[in-house]
Amino acid sequence: MTEMVRYAIQHNSRYQYRNSVARSAMWICLEPRSDFDQNVRRFEAITEPSVYLSPETDPFGNNKHFITVNFEHDSLVIKASSEVDNITAARLPTALGPGAWEEIDSWTNTFDQWHYTHESPLTIYSPALDDFVTKYRIGSGSDPVESLLRLGDTLFRNFEYTPGSTNAASKIEEILETRQGVCQDYAHVMIAIARSWGIPTRYVSGYMYLTGMHGEQVSESATHAWVECLLPELGWFGFDPTNATIADQRHVRIAVGRDYLDVSPTRGILIDGESSTLDATVKMEVIPFSTV
C-alpha cells in the first residue's frame, strides 16, 4: 500500500535592485510537476508589482511561467504556493534483472534520450572528472542500481556540503577542486558520471522536507536538487547524492532538465538595470488530510 504525504509549500523570492530598473523579463520555474509519483492539488503564484504570469510547458514537460515587468520598478517579489501530494513508494530493488545494462545501452543514443545521455553545459565530462573517477575507482558494476547507489555514496562521503561554496552556475570543476559544494554540484557530478555509463540521467529541481527529532521542519531553505535515472523495470528513478538516499516521500519535484540551467527557479534579464540581490525563503509543511 502506498502511503501518501501532503505538503503545503510557500516559496517566496524577492529581488532587490540596486537602482530602479526600467524593465525586466523573467522565466519562473516553480510549479511542481504532476506526474507519476506526485500530484499537484493547487498552485498559485503572484508577483509584486503585479503582472500576468504567462504559462508555458517547456520541452522537458515542466510548467513554467513567463513574466515581463514593463515599467520602472526597484524590486520584484514572487510568491508561489502549492499543495502537493507525494505518493512515492519505496520500491527500489537491490538489483535489476539480467540484461539491465543491455536494455539501458539500447536507450543511450536514441533520439528521445539523446540530451539525457550526452553532455550539457554544466555536466561536461572533463579530464578533472575522469581523474576523480579513476581515483575513487568509480565504475559501473554488474548492476545499474547498485552502481548508482555506490556512486551516490562515494559523492556523499568525499564532498563536503558547504552552503555558499559555489554559485548557481558553477561548473563541476569547482567542487572537484575544493571538494565542497551544494546539492546542485553533487547532482551535476552524478549526472556526468551516470551519463558516461550510458544511463539516461536528468537533473531534478525541487524541495526536500527536512525534519528534526520531533518531526518539525528544521530548514528554512528547502529547495533542493537531485537526479533521476531511467532504469529498466523502474522508469525514472530518483537518487539524492547529497543525502546518500533515494528520492522518497520527503522529495517534491518541481522540474527536470539536462542540468540546472534548464530548470533554475528564476531566470531573468534586466533592461537598463544593474545587479540585484535575491532573498528566497521556503516554508514547507506537512498537512493532515483524511485518508480515502
Residue 21 or 282: the one with the smaller Cβ distance to another protein is 21
Interacting residue with another protein among 114, 168, 173, 281 (CB under 8 A): 114
Least CB distance from residue 59 to another protein, whole Å? 4
Residue 210 as a binder of another protein (CB under 8 A): the answer is no
- Tell me whether residue 2 or residue 109 sits nearer to another protein (CB atom): 109
Q: Which is nearer to another protein, 102 or 112 (CB)?
A: 112
Answer yes or no whether residue 22 interacts with another protein by CB under 8 A: yes
Q: Quick check: 118 binds another protein (CB under 8 A)?
A: yes
Using CB under 8 A as the binding rule, whether residue 25 contacts another protein is answered as: yes
The count of residues interacting with another protein (CB under 8 A) is 27
- 154 membership: H or E segment, kind and range: helix 144-158
Which amino acid, 133? Answer: V
What is the nearest approach in angstroms of another protein to the Cβ of residue 241?
Answer: 25
| Three-class secondary structure of residue 240 per DSSP | strand
Nearer Cβ to another protein (50/94): 50
**How far apart (Å, rounded) are the C-alpha atoms in residues 154 and 200?**
20
Letter string b/e over residues 40-76, b meaning 16 or more CB atoms within 10 A of that residue's CB: beebebebeeebebeeeeeebebbbbebebeeebeeb
* CA–CA dist 234, 245 (Å, integer): 16
> By the 8 A CB rule, do 166 and 122 touch?
no
Query: Applying CB under 8 A, which of residues 27, 43, 125, 136 lies at the interface with another protein?
Result: 27
Residue 183 — φ and ψ, nearest 5°? -55, -35
3-state SS record for 244-269: CEECCCCEEEEEEECCHHHHCCEEEE
Where b means 16+ CB within 10 Å and e means fewer, 172-191 reads bebbbeeebbbbbbbbbbbb
* Residue placing its CB nearer to another protein in the complex, 141 or 268: 268
Contacting residues for 165 by C-beta, under 8 A, at least 6 apart = 174, 175, 178, 180, 181, 182
Tell me how far apart the alpha carbons of residues 20 and 61 are, in angstroms, rounded to a whole number: 35
| The one segment of 108-116, 144-152, 239-247, 284-292 that binds another protein by CB under 8 A | 108-116
**Where does this chain touch another protein (CB under 8 A) — which range of 38-46, 110-118, 184-192, 225-233?**
110-118
110 binds another protein (CB under 8 A): yes
When asked if residue 23 is in the footprint of another protein (CB under 8 A), the reply is yes
- What does the alpha-carbon distance between residue 244 and residue 235 come to, in Å, rounded to a whole number? 20
Backbone angles phi, psi at 144, to 5 degrees: -60, -45
- Contact call for residue 127 and another protein (CB under 8 A): no
> In the bound complex, what is the minimum distance in angstroms from residue 106's beta carbon to another protein?
12
**3 near another protein, rule: CB under 8 A:** no
Using the rule CB under 8 A, is 141 a contact of another protein?
no
What are the strands, taking DSSP E only, across 38-179? Answer: 38-48, 54-57, 63-69, 73-86, 160-161
Site string for another protein, 49-88 (x = CB under 8 A): --xx-x-x-xx------x-x-xxx----------------
The contact set with another protein (CB under 8 A) reads 22-23, 25-27, 51-52, 54, 56, 58-59, 66, 68, 70-72, 109-112, 114-115, 118, 267-269, 271
